[in-house]
Structure 1
Amino acid sequence: MSAGAVRIAITGASGRMGRMLIEAVLNAPDLRLTAALDREGSPTLGQDAGAFLGQHTGVAITTDVRAGLSQADVLIDFTRPEGTLAHLALCAELGVRTVIGTTGFSDAQKAEIQALSQRAAVMMAPNMSVGVNVVLKLLENAAKALAQGYDIEIIEAHHRHKVDAPSGTALKMGEVVADAIGRDLKTCAVYGREGVTGERDPSTIGFATVRGGDIIGDHTVLFAGIGERIEISHKASSRATFAQGSLRAARFLATRATGLFDMNDVLGLA
């Protein structure tokens, strides 16, 4: 680790999340932007990473991941599973910590992340929002109390550009609830209903997905009983919440050498 400010590299530098992360890092006195990475063909390649803010940072957007990571203590990655894994392998080689906000990993890919985290610390969470992670803890407690006599449905909504469904956050909510009540989400989840489905199986956890417009991220877990409904919801109005959570994760990782962590570890909720 370097002395002083934690050096941060950001992938997807010209995307919506990438720009939010860059702005957040530039406004954080204890962090320093040292690399802004993007894909081949991006029209912003070669530009200053702070140009969209009217700022000069001295950090040019580049495709040279190895060179960028060689100047960083922590990489923050919100891209796609294949790209994240390629970046993570290089981070493991160079000893760079990684904050992973990417979703949509397969079980095999998660196992690969677990293995690579033994070489350089990784913090992975389907949602970096502090609020969402507090909600996950609330859901654990609620599910235990409402395990009998309540049907459980998870409803999520995101913008039209999101490529995976259900969202990683919705799946994490389902996992937390299922674990709390002694079920296996892989066997009890229902991801779609159409036609004559018959009565609802009370042992299932249902998912409903909405995609449209510029919805940043809405999640609701519904516990529907006889005579009452309990809804635990989180609605994001700005990606700034994900950026600020990511910075908290980067600060946390800066003191860890190896291991796989999640936001419960970062927030002291574990």
Structure 2
Amino acid sequence: MVANTLFGGRDPYAAGRPTMITGSPVRIGVVDTGIAQPQHPFLNDGVSGDPEPDDLDENLRGHGTFVTGVVLLNAPGAEVRMRAVVSETSGKREDEQVAEAIMELVGEVDLINLSFGGATWEHTAPPALQEAIETALSQEVVVVAAAANNASPLRNYPAALPGVISVGAATADGRVAEFSSFGSWLTVYARGEDVKGPYQAGWATWEGTSFAAATVTGRIAWLMAEKHLSAQVAADQLLSKCREITVHDVNGERTAKYLV
């Protein structure tokens, strides 16, 4: 799914952006498609890691850059380390690539953002992926994952793994987006429609749980820096202050957390 609307010009969030993180930056790992080259000017010197492959599928092109941009729009000055996991020439399954990327980041970062996911025939996470995330959580790394865009209550991984902050997409007025996964297994909803971010040489709007997750990651990072908190304490505080919204799913009406 490519970006909905492309537009050039200046940073659309130049006014009203959160305070720049100063001092020791928060370290965020992003496992995604890589950083598009040449690197977008908004992605500052704090962004490092794998470039986007030249042969990346058109529907995925720019995804890693956009996700990183959304993180930084919510936590300007944070340090982002990108690990690309879309190689078709490595001979490894995608879940194995993701697991290796997570393990590389453990010990280097405070937060890991995973803006992708999917269901499995067995309704369980691939063992390598589950083990890597359990390792990250045991090292006090907070893991945030997108719930998926399948408009279904079916559990998606890695978001549905215990301990992961699973993020669904909502509209600006706090309704679950039509495309978003839903269900009691989700931790929180955040805005996932008409999200603005860096794309190609300019800016764009995009929709998806990918960008709702990136927003949550960025907000946790900003709170860590602003209040000198650990990643887990910052995440707990952020979630405790979320607004409650009414959602409807297979079990009827219930309340859910919505990050305003």
TM-score normalized with structure 2 length: 0.38
More helix by share: 1
